[in-house]
Amino acid sequence: MKKQTLLFLAISLIISLGVKADPGTVTVTIDNVIEQPGTVSIPVYFDIDVDTPGVGSIELLIEFESGVLTDFDSFTNVASDIEGNSWDGLTGVIQDPQDPGKLKINTTAGDEDDYLTSFSGVLFEMQFEYDGGQSDITFEGQNAEGESEIGGEDGDQIPANFVNGSINQEQPPAIPITLWSILIGFGLISLFTLKRAAKKQ
């Protein structure tokens, strides 16, 4: 019995040592935003799983309806983790003037000491001019070289989940039923007053 138990423990140990741990993932999420036309900021969230190796580069290709989000202005609320240290700054370029609905975003750490090993929250916000209406805001070429990918040490690609977002126009608040009643009552009184005034003439 003891021999069988020891054999079982030895086999279990060999199997457990032979199985590699999940390397972890990064989740990048575009917020779902409801806004009025004008200048809007759309948050992009970044969440690094505990087992993920250090993140040294971020490359995103984001697509949207160019008739809805008409102009990309700048980045706002950029996390200090990628704004300072040796990161080369966050750049955003409309990839093709003939197809203005695609924004290419890049940033890279110059020093491994500044790689992101833990982060959860808003990484940055994209500021656009918004003409109203609805548009999906999606990651293109997910985990494809040269498009949307997250890089680690030696340029190795880190598994990533990309969660798409959207923008919708805020609807004017509904008029409460009590206010409708007051307006209708006021309208009826005004109509009655006008009729009486017309009869007196």
**Domain contains 160:** yes
Position 98: which residue type? Q
**Domain contains 187:** no
Predicted confidence band at 178 (pLDDT cuts at 50, 70, 90)? low
**Domain contains 63:** yes
pLDDT in tens, 131-148: 999 999 999 987 766 689
**Domain contains 97:** yes
pLDDT in tens, 6-23: 444 444 443 343 333 344
d(CA 184, CA 178): 10
Predicted confidence band at 68 (pLDDT cuts at 50, 70, 90)? very high
Q: How many domains are contained in the chain? A: 1
**Domain contains 136:** yes
**Domain contains 52:** yes
**40: which strand partners?**
128
Out of 33-37, 86-90, 150-154, 179-183, pick the least confident: 179-183
- CATH number at 110 reads 2.60.40.680
Q: Choose among 84, 141, 136, 126: nearest CA to 150.
A: 141
Range of the domain at 73: 24-169
- Find which of 78-87, 115-124, 164-173, 185-194 is predicted with most confidence, using mean pLDDT: 115-124
Q: Show Cβ contacts of residue 140 under 8 Å, excluding neighbours closer than 6 positions.
A: 61, 62, 63, 102, 147, 148
**Domain contains 15:** no
**Domain contains 4:** no
Please state whether the predicted TM-score (pTM) of the whole model is above 0.85. Answer: no
Predicted confidence band at 190 (pLDDT cuts at 50, 70, 90)? low
Q: What percent of the chain has pLDDT over 70?
A: 73
**60: which strand partners?**
105
Q: Average model confidence (pLDDT) for the chain? A: 82
pLDDT in tens, 27-66: 999 999 999 999 999 999 999 988 888 999 999 999 999 9
